[in-house]
Chain A
Amino acid sequence: MRTTALFLIALLAAFAPAEAKKAPVPVKALPPMAAQGAVQAKEVSLVRVNVTGQPFDYFRPWQKKAPFSKRALGAVLAHDRVLVTADLVANQNYVELERAESGEKTAANVVVVDYEANLALLEPSDKKFLNGLQPLDLALDTVVGDRLAAWQLEATGTLVVTEGIVTTIGVTRYPADVSDFLTYRLSIPMQYRDNSYTVPLVKNNKLAALLLRFDPRSQTLDAIPAPIIAHFLKDASGPKYQGFPSLGVSFFPTRDPELRSYAGETGKPGGVYVTSIEPGQPADKAGLQRGDIVTAVGDHVVDENGNYVDALYGKLEVSNLLTGKAYVGDTVALHIQRTGKPLTLNVKLEHRAEEDYVVPPYNIDDPPPYYVLGGLIFQELSRQYLKEWGANWQKDAPQDFVYLDKFQSELFPEGKRRVVILSQVLPANSTIGYDDFSYLVVKKVNGKVINSLGDLAEAVKTPVNGFHVIETADDPKQLELGASEVAAEADALQKNYGLPALQRLP
């Protein structure tokens, strides 16, 4: 069946991009695992979630790509809420919940989505839709060695349970590539099957985790753990969703005795060396400096590898204290050594918002801004734009853009700006001879420094002696357009290339 095959490919891509090209093995025909026992879905609080997604087309920013469908599972929680991964609802146009046993459907809204933690909360438009389903509680006490059950559904609505064992609990980078969060790693002989985009992992009929990524070759599964889900839910129950806090700082281990001695440390080993501080972020505001050694966070001593001793898990990366365990608005005491002298800094934690990045990392649901002048297309550089080059975007996208993204805080320490690029040229009368120009960073337009598309829209209001003068960082360094020619050609250009509008500003 064609639809099934397509869906399986989409699944593979989501779980393990490296495997995307291999032909998936159809698993639909396999019977439920008898050994685990089959349970009826209505007893276990799962609903199907059908999502129609339609991503923006960053290469043609005035339009969206063709819509596509994703089918998945959601975990039913208290207060008529359904928990899914943020990946599932990214770029959603329409979300629908479906009762597994009856096939009854209702539309749903996305209440909260957090792309950093990869979690989203849905609510059915029909309040009674989830009646009869027992909400799942959270199991917050999972430790290494525990057995968790992955819940998947057969097409018939029959529950399929696969057990795995938690082998590691640690802090890893989540797919948005912004922050590190607590992660369970399981060894699990799980199979792909229909409706397994979001796979809940359950312990004693309580929700212990949600699938984050799965490598079918090694049968290794990473999961978003209940403590992170609990943090998300607590935040989401407040009047305004805040997001996970961050300190805005990078650490380096102090195992090297030479580095310790250089930093003025003479006592017993421990603490991490502060390497870089994001300007304007909490650590910067609290006065933390490059070269400080952080020896404790609150009551937790930090060792030379950057770990503290967690009451439940044992040694764990210190960032868990600042992201997973703390909330926006909390004040955390950082105990540091500065050139050998102890000091305590109180840091008020904040969430790092999209606006605080020069190259936004996950501007998924915002329409990409653009400005068409003559046939020149101007856009703001973003990670979503770079990801248009595919899974290997870090190698395939224009390398100076990848460099700007990766080293943005180093290159733009002042922050508070965007990078405006001349992304491509639509051939037109006003752009004759410019056809080959693309991927240029714009510095000035009509003599004014450009730090956003808004700046550009403002600057083009005042042409210089009847010309728009665009200055770029790389060759050709300058391009000019006749202002009256651009204005005269605008309508024809819009019609010719089918542009619904010549601009969309942020």
Chain B
Amino acid sequence: MHRFRFLICALALFIVADAHGQPNGQIQSSLVRITSTEVEPDYRAPWNSGSIGRGVGAGFVIDGQRILTNAHVVSNSRYLTVEREGDPNKYPATVLFVAHDCDLALLQVAAPNFWKGMKPLSFGGIPALESTVSAYGYPIGGERMSVTTGIVSRIDFNLYTHSAIDSHLAIQISAQINPGNSGGPVMQTGKVVGVAFQGYSGDIAQGVAYMIPTPVIRRFLKDIEDGHYDRYVDLGITYSKLQNPAQRHYLGLKDDDRGVLVGTVIDAGPCGKLLQTGDVLLSIDGYPIASDAFVEYEGERVQMPEVVERKFKGDTVKLDLLRNQQPMSVVVTLGSVWPYFMQGHSYDIRPRYVLYGGLLFQPMSLDLLEAYRISDLRVRHFFDFFVTEQIYLQHPEVIILTNILPDPTNTYLMPFRSSIVDEINGQKIGTLQDLARAFEQPADRFVVKMIGDGPPLVLDPKQVEGARERIKTRYNVFQEQNLDEQPPAKPAVAAQTHS
């Protein structure tokens, strides 16, 4: 059974296909149907390869013999094929670039026959409100290409649910979009004005669908020009509006409706050493920041981060600010803010873990918490406040004892499940690597101190060694650890205390 690709699966039975006249031209010669065989990682048995599934989405040809689609159409894929309208062949494809933070991916197809007669589509701008658009794809309800039309309903910042942490510009359209539409082009007067990507399921809201607009697409295509996708950049700060007259007066601001108040400055972010809590940001790259955090940018009133959204890793942004009522300027070299990544979904990586004495240690992440449905209050606090309380300074990775594979040597340790590792034999554990190294040290016993007031977890290395093969065999564990992915770099700034 094929699964159709669409975020937040919608259930729609009636798809209105209006294909008369084809105002956007012969889309058939640009549209492709993508079938992805994916392997979903198994966080609860991370040594397993995971469950295998198959899904269908759409994509379209752009210049340079490339196919643009959604990242979620090809995430975790192990084998990809593409098909054209009117061609019985399935062509193997590979992923050139994938950008999970803006849900876009580029594919390539090696077979020269595939490209015969294929016409690349070109991009338009942001369509006007109430103007008509058409969406093309392979939604549920049939095998062949489907077309639906609707109007542009809203243009606004929105959460991209593929990563669950990134918000970018998104355009809401009233065209019916259903599972299988994902990655397909949304056209207006022969130009691509967006890529269909997410919507609400029918029981939450009817006819609310979103497409990725061309500024986001263009940014992605520009980012990869150097052969590498660098992610979106971010200032790594929180800020509040400055609409209260007394507060403005106190901060020495003029009565000119300008400025936002800096709350938290994330040390690991690009503003780490440049901004302080209590600074008042007055303008960004010369654009005045209004007291409600909007800026006038390219003729539109947009939220302040939009100025940074268009930039790339290594670009700079100039901030004019007031610190202790004194004007000053800083130039920030932009980059991404890694502590946020843990709070979003990750793809195309194998879960990292260490199994020691039947105890399974894993770094905290959104995927991990969802897999185990951990409701422990302390773990949830570490997750929610990982960035804002700067927990990452001491725990770049939060290592959780997620599970215990029962064995006579660990039978009394069950109460420690869902605990967070703080120290092993007096050494602070900040990463999974730290934990793996600590267990490699020669010792008579390992005293694992967990966060909080509980008792220590005590292990005898000889007992663990004696049980090792037994546990591996009994639970079919063929690999006891995966430290593959490099842990995030330690922040350059000195560790601060947090509580």
Residues of A within 8 A of B (CB): 250, 252-253, 255-256, 258-259, 261-262, 273, 275-276, 290, 394, 399-400, 402-403, 406-407, 409-411, 430-434, 465, 467, 469, 474-482, 485
- Some 11 contacts from A to B, beta carbons below 8 A apart, are A250-B453, A256-B458, A261-B460, A276-B454, A399-B377, A469-B250, A475-B239, A477-B240, A478-B261, A479-B247, A481-B246
B240 and A262 within 8 A (CB): no
Known: A256-B458, A258-B445, A480-B246. A400 touches B381 (CB 8 A): yes
Cβ of B227 under 8 Å from chain A:
no
Cβ of B331 under 8 Å from chain A:
no
B458 and A410 within 8 A (CB): no
| Nearest chain A CB to B78 CB, angstrom units | 38
A480 and B244 within 8 A (CB): yes
Identify which of A400, A403, A407, A430 contacts B246 (C-beta below 8 A): A430
Closest to B460 in A: A258
CA distance A403 to B384 in the complex (A): 12
Known: A433-B241, A480-B250, A482-B246. A259 touches B458 (CB 8 A): yes
| Nearest chain A CB to B439 CB, angstrom units | 15
Cβ of B26 under 8 Å from chain A:
no
Number of A-B residue pairs with CB-CB distance less than 8 Å in the complex they form: 102
Which of chain A's residues have a CB closer than 8 A to the CB of B251?
A: 480
| Nearest chain B CB to A487 CB, angstrom units | 12
Identify which of B247, B377, B380, B456 contacts A262 (C-beta below 8 A): B456
A431 and B263 within 8 A (CB): no
| Nearest chain A CB to B356 CB, angstrom units | 14
Closest to A465 in B: B250
CA distance A14 to B458 in the complex (A): 43
A406 and B456 within 8 A (CB): no
Known: A258-B459, A433-B244, A481-B246. A475 touches B381 (CB 8 A): no
Cβ of B452 under 8 Å from chain A:
yes
B244 and A479 within 8 A (CB): yes
A475 and B240 within 8 A (CB): yes
Cβ of B487 under 8 Å from chain A:
no
B458 and A482 within 8 A (CB): no
Given A432-B244, A433-B244, 16 further pairs, Cβ under 8 A: A253-B412, A258-B458, A258-B459, A258-B463, A261-B458, A261-B460, A262-B447, A273-B455, A399-B381, A403-B377, A406-B377, A430-B246, A432-B243, A467-B250, A475-B239, A482-B246
Q: What count of chain B residues pass the 8 Å CB interface test?
A: 40
Cβ of B378 under 8 Å from chain A:
yes
B499 and A252 within 8 A (CB): no
Which of chain A's residues have a CB closer than 8 A to the CB of B277?
A: 477
| Nearest chain B CB to A267 CB, angstrom units | 18
| Nearest chain A CB to B250 CB, angstrom units | 4
Q: Which of B249, B455, B499 has the most CB of A within 10 A?
A: B455
| Nearest chain A CB to B355 CB, angstrom units | 18
CA distance A252 to B454 in the complex (A): 8
9 closest cross-chain pairs (CB), A and B: A433-B243, A276-B453, A256-B412, A475-B263, A476-B240, A482-B246, A433-B244, A258-B458, A480-B250
CA distance A481 to B384 in the complex (A): 30
Q: Which of B246, B378, B447, B463 has the most CB of A within 10 A?
A: B246
Identify which of A250, A409, A475, A480 contacts B247 (C-beta below 8 A): A480
Cβ of B278 under 8 Å from chain A:
yes
Cβ of B245 under 8 Å from chain A:
yes
Cβ of B479 under 8 Å from chain A:
no
A407 and B247 within 8 A (CB): no
Closest to B452 in A: A410
CA distance A434 to B247 in the complex (A): 10
| Nearest chain A CB to B323 CB, angstrom units | 14
Cβ of B238 under 8 Å from chain A:
yes
| Nearest chain A CB to B115 CB, angstrom units | 52
A399 and B380 within 8 A (CB): yes
CA distance A222 to B415 in the complex (A): 26
| Nearest chain A CB to B261 CB, angstrom units | 6
Cβ of B264 under 8 Å from chain A:
yes
A252 and B246 within 8 A (CB): no
Closest to B249 in A: A482
